Amino acid sequence: MKFYWSMPSRISVPFNRELKGFQTQLSKNNLHIAWHHLERAHILGQSWPMEHSQVHWLMLKFGFRIKDPKEILGQLPRLLVGGIKSFVGKIPVGNTGGANVPPLRSMVIPQDLKSILDTNKH
């Protein structure tokens, strides 16, 4: 069994770029684009417990900001369990992390993010 703890810099740089994009768009009240950046950060960070939990925390806060009870309630179990599943490498690959998708559904990874994640396999 492989344990995931530290995100490699070749992934953390684009992960942090997505988080910055989220914050920038959120500050401009471009909520749809901000959420898109969060989903992309989730795809990149879901294999690492700290980053995975960080994104779910931001998704929970976003749910409160937009007053969306479904998102708020959907993020609570993800926040509690997501990091643990990351630590042991049991994540639904490509899942975008929002309450609008089942938490255990694997999804197709956008090609640009797949290329970044594939660098971790070498």
The pLDDT profile of the chain, 122 residues, written as one tens digit per residue, is 455 678 999 999 999 999 999 999 999 999 999 999 999 999 999 989 999 999 999 999 999 999 999 999 999 999 988 877 777 777 889 999 999 999 889 999 999 999 999 987 75
122 in a domain, yes or no? no
Angle subtended at Cα 62 by Cα 61 and Cα 64, rounded to the nearest 5 degrees? 65
2 in a domain, yes or no? no
121 in a domain, yes or no? no
Domain limits for position 101? 11-116
100 in a domain, yes or no? yes
6 in a domain, yes or no? no
Domains identified in the chain, total number: 1
86 in a domain, yes or no? yes
41 in a domain, yes or no? yes
103 in a domain, yes or no? yes
